[in-house]
Amino acid sequence: MTQTQEKISKSEFTTLRHDWTLEEIEGLLNQPLMDLLWNAQLVHRHANPGYKVQLASLLSVKTGGCEEDCAYCPQSIHNASDISSQNDLGIDQVLEGAKAAKKAGADRFCMGWAWREIRDGEKFEEMLEMVRGVRALGLEACVTAGMLSNTQALRLADAGLTAYNHNLDTSPEHYGQIITTRTYEERLETLQRVRSAGITICCGGIIGMGESVADRASLLKVLANLTPHPESVPINALVAVEGTKLESFSQVDPLEVVRMVATARILMPYSRVRLSAGREQLGKEAQILCLLVGADSIFYGETLLTTSNPSINADRELLEQAGVEVRWELECE
How deeply is 185 buried, as exposed, middle or buried, from its count of CB atoms within 10 A (0-12, 13-18, 19+)? exposed
Q: Does 144 bind ligand SAM (CB under 6 A)?
A: yes
What is the pattern of x (binds ligand SAM, CB under 6 A) and - over residues 56-85? Answer: ----------x-----xx-x----------
In terms of C-beta density within 10 A (0-12 exposed, 13-18 middle, 19 or more buried), how is residue 87 classed?
Answer: exposed
| Paired residues of 236 in beta bridges | 206
**In whole angstroms, how close is the CB of 199 to ligand DTB at the nearest point?**
15
User: What is the distance between the alpha carbons of residues 299 and 93, in angstroms, rounded to a whole number?
Assistant: 20
Instruction: Judge contact between 111 and 143, C-beta under 8 A.
Output: yes
Residue at 61: amino acid letter = V
Pick from 8, 36, 70, 224: which binds ligand SF4 (CB under 6 A)? 70
In the list 36, 131, 139, 239, the residue contacting ligand DTB (rule: CB under 6 A) is 239
Q: Check binding of 234 to ligand DTB (CB under 6 A).
A: yes
> Of 108, 142, 272, 290, which is the active-site residue?
142
Instruction: Note whether 146 binds ligand SF4 by CB under 6 A.
Output: yes
| Residue 41 CA from chain centroid, whole number | 20
Q: How far is CA 78 from the centre of its chain?
A: 23
Beta partners for 76? 66
- In angstroms, what CA-CA distances link 265 with 1, 38, 75, 160, 290? 20, 12, 30, 28, 10
Is residue 230 involved in binding ligand DTB (CB under 6 A)? Answer: no
Active-site residue (options: 108, 195, 202, 216): 202
Q: Which is nearer to ligand DTB, 197 or 237 (CB)?
A: 237
Tell me whether residue 13 or residue 300 sits nearer to ligand SAM (CB atom).
300
Give the one residue of 276, 286, 288, 301 binding ligand DTB; rule: CB under 6 A.
276
Per rule CB under 6 A, is residue 219 in the interface with ligand SAM?
no
Distance in Å, CB of 238 to ligand SAM, minimum: 5
Burial class (CB in 10 A: 0-12, 13-18, 19+), 73: buried
- Contact in structure between 202 and 163 (CB atoms under 8 Å): yes
70 is known as an active-site residue:
yes
Residue 165 within binding range of ligand DTB, rule CB under 6 A: yes
Residues 105-134 binding ligand SF4 (CB under 6 A) are 114, 116
Residue (303 or 321) nearer to ligand SAM, CB = 303
238 binds, among ligand SAM, ligand SF4, ligand DTB, none (CB under 5 to 8 A by kind): ligand SAM
The binder of ligand DTB chosen from 31, 57, 162, 167 (CB under 6 A): 167
Judged by CB under 6 A, the residue of 64, 97, 105, 112 near ligand DTB is 112
Question: Which positions from 66 through 95 interact with ligand DTB, judged by CB under 6 A?
Answer: 74
Cα(52)–Cα(95) distance, rounded to whole angstroms? 26
Q: What is the three-class DSSP state of 307? A: coil
Q: Is 294 a residue that touches ligand SAM (CB under 6 A)?
A: no
Residue 167 found at the interface with ligand SAM (CB under 6 A): yes
Burial 282-320 (b: 16+ CB within 10 A, else e): beeebbbbbbbbbbbbbbbbeebbbeebbebeebbebbe
Is 332 an active-site residue?
no
- Catalytic site includes residue 203: no
Residue 244 within binding range of ligand DTB, rule CB under 6 A: no
* Sites of contact with ligand SAM (CB under 6 A): 66, 72-73, 75, 112, 114-115, 144-146, 166-167, 169, 206, 236, 238-239, 241, 277, 305
